[in-house]
């Protein structure tokens, strides 16, 4: 399964204006054409609503949300690897054991991330 999203690793970085962190940015790796990296998400608690992906109540919440977004490609890769490994080991998603529950959770996360979730 090849992801259709912007290739990682993504990173969460603060945007500082006049010495104050006013929002967090989630960016992909820098390129020769874009030294900062493509802006993927803007998580803010002190910015114009037209530029936001989400609005939060505090710098701590903005930072936590941006870090979670930045980890998304890595977490999808792990979920795909878990699915592959447990499937090769013949685990089934409807069993009562922890491995079956993990396989079901990995498949649900993959479906959510790839838009296959109903």
Summarised one tens digit per residue, pLDDT across range 52-89 is: 555 555 667 667 777 888 888 889 999 999 999 999 99
Task: Kindly compute the dihedral angle of the four CA atoms of residues 97, 108, 12, 28, in this order, to the nearest 10 degrees.
Answer: 120
Residue range 99-112: average pLDDT? Answer: 94
pLDDT of residue 105: 95
Whether the CA torsion 106, 37, 2, 89 is positive or negative: it is negative
Residue range 6-23: average pLDDT? Answer: 75
pLDDT band at 7 (very low <50, low <70, confident <90, very high): low
In percent, the amount of the chain with pLDDT more than 90 equals: 30
Taking all residues of the chain, what is their mean pLDDT, rounded to a whole number?
Answer: 79
Whether residue 43 has pLDDT greater than 80: no
Query: Do 24 and 50 contact (CB within 8 A), yes or no?
Result: no
pLDDT of residue 3: 47
pLDDT of residue 110: 92
């Amino acid at each position: 399964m090849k992801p259709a999203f912007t290739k990682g690793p993504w990173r969460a970085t603060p945007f500082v204006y006049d010495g104050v962190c006013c929002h967090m940015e989630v960016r992909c790796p820098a390129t020769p054409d874009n030294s900062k990296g493509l802006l993927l998400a803007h998580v803010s608690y002190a910015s114009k609503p037209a530029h936001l992906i989400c609005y939060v109540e505090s710098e701590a919440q903005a930072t936590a949300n941006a870090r979670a977004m930045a980890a998304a490609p890595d977490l999808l890769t792990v979920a795909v690897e878990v699915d592959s490994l447990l499937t090769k080991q013949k685990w089934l998603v409807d069993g009562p054991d922890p491995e079956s529950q993990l396989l079901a959770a990995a498949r649900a996360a993959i479906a959510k991330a790839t838009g296959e979730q109903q």
